[in-house]
Amino acid sequence: MTENIQALFKLVAEGEEFELSANDSNTEYLLRNKEDASTAHLEGDDAEAFSQEYSTIKTQFPDYSADQMLAQLWDQGGYSWMALADEDEA
């Protein structure tokens, strides 16, 4: 992902394995798996669904760490399938 695109996003949550960033209007998200060096860029319907799922997990599991929440979305939410290797993103 280019630095120009990354500059449009602010960090929302970060753990040792995962990080989540969003644009100012929360209509696009970057969900990054640091260990795999891959990022899912979520926009449109995918971003809307992700936002709802993320809010649900935060409500249901308030004691979860950022890594626990984001790993659940990455694995069980299926967002890993949307990810590209960091150096491959444009």
Q: What is the pLDDT of residue 8?
A: 85
Exposure string over 48-82, b if 16+ CB within 10 A, otherwise e: eebeebbeebeeeeeeeebbebbbbbbeebebbeb
pTM above 0.85, yes or no: yes
Residues of the chain with pLDDT under 50: 89-90
Q: What is the pLDDT of residue 47?
A: 97
Closest by CA to 82, choosing from 52, 27, 36, 40, is 40
pLDDT tens, 57-69? 999 999 999 999 9
Q: What is the pLDDT of residue 4?
A: 55
* Distance in angstroms (rounded) separating the CA atoms of residues 27 and 71: 21
Percentage of residues of the chain with pLDDT beyond 70: 90
Under the phi-then-psi rule, with left for phi > 0, alpha for psi from -120 to 50, and beta for the rest, what region is 37? left
In sign, the C-alpha dihedral spanning 4, 10, 13, 15 is positive
